[in-house]
Amino acid sequence: MQYRTLGRTGIKVSPYALGTLMFATSIGNPDPEDSIRVIHKALDAGINFVDTADAYGDVEDVVGQALKGRRDNVVLATKFSRPIGDDPNHQGTSRRWIMTAVENSLRRLQTDHIDLYQIHRPDPSTDIEETLSALNDLIHSGKVRAIGTSAMPVSDMVEAQWAASRRGFERFHTEQPPYSILSRGIEREVLPTAQRHGMGTLVWGPLGQGMLTGRVRRGEENTLRRAGMLKHLNDARRIDVVEQLIPLADAAGMPLTHLAMAFTISHPAVTSAIIGPRTMAHLDDLLAGLEVVLPDEVLDRIDEIVPPGTNVSTLDQDFVPPALQNASLRRRPLAERAGQNSIAG
């Protein structure tokens, strides 16, 4: 295992990070003991980076149990800001919620510190200086070692760096965006910006939310489709790309999953790619491809199929900023528009 430095933190992490969403008993593996065995197998294989979140149901509890006696050898990352229950203040990035959320995560994870504490999704309603001030205090108290973001727009990434410098706060050292052969949009600005500011990048969705496992084929029924889990499983554009990638992987002598994972970690700006196994079999398949290195001719062919910096449709879990969700932020008030028309007439 060749470890990589996480941004400029000096922390060494494995090129695969163990994502834990599929260990939630409500949506993933219903057996916590089996999930713990999967976590131990990943650690035994040399993966030392574990990523979780307070919004993943009971996952932090499972991770806390799994890391008993092994905590010192693990770089533990968790996230906050997504809604926890119905209380409107149990979400976001206010100082009020951050101070509560971190204590809850520390208790569930059975640890006295978090190595990487990340904003799960941006919170436009909170001043970034308010957020950085609270996170700065957590670092200085020893409860958090480093801070990061997830799915943060480039303009917000830069603003946060400037705010930290201006106020003398600890700055964000990592960003966690979606990235796969099917979702290459971050190559345009997010990854270059992260490199420019010395940020590590922990990417999620390297298997395209299941599309790059090869289980979803044109004209074939499968358990994922029957379950109706995610709308992208019926996206004709994504399926067309998968149909081109499968023979490429076959010609290279590897499963599609190995091709997909090797692609993500080949980018110089990517520190680690998050894998999300639900079972031991899933983990074993991914571990078998850990040392795969794609030659230039294979990467060139991938560039032909999906040009650099482009997305093949959008992910189901993409962050959509308020300016796109709320029509009122894109339209002048009707009375104002009507007044303009009468003047023009």
Percent of the chain residues topping a pLDDT of 90: 82
pLDDT above 90: residue 217: no
Residues recognised as catalytic: 56
The count of other CB atoms within 10 Å of the CB of residue 21 is 18
Non-local CB neighbours of 157 within 8 Å, separated by 6+ positions: 149, 172, 175, 190, 193, 194, 197, 199
CATH of domain 4-344: 3.20.20.100
> Rounded CA gap, 312 and 62, in Å?
34
Burial class (CB in 10 A: 0-12, 13-18, 19+), 24: buried
Instruction: Give residue-wise pLDDT tens across range 306-342.
Output: 999 999 976 666 677 777 777 777 778 877 767 766 5
Instruction: Give residue-wise pLDDT tens across range 145-203.
Output: 999 999 999 999 999 999 999 999 999 999 999 999 999 999 999 999 999 999 999 99
Instruction: Give residue-wise pLDDT tens across range 69-113.
Output: 999 999 999 999 999 999 999 999 999 999 999 999 999 999 999
**Running DSSP on this structure, what letter comes out for residue 179?**
-
> Rounded CA gap, 117 and 120, in Å?
9
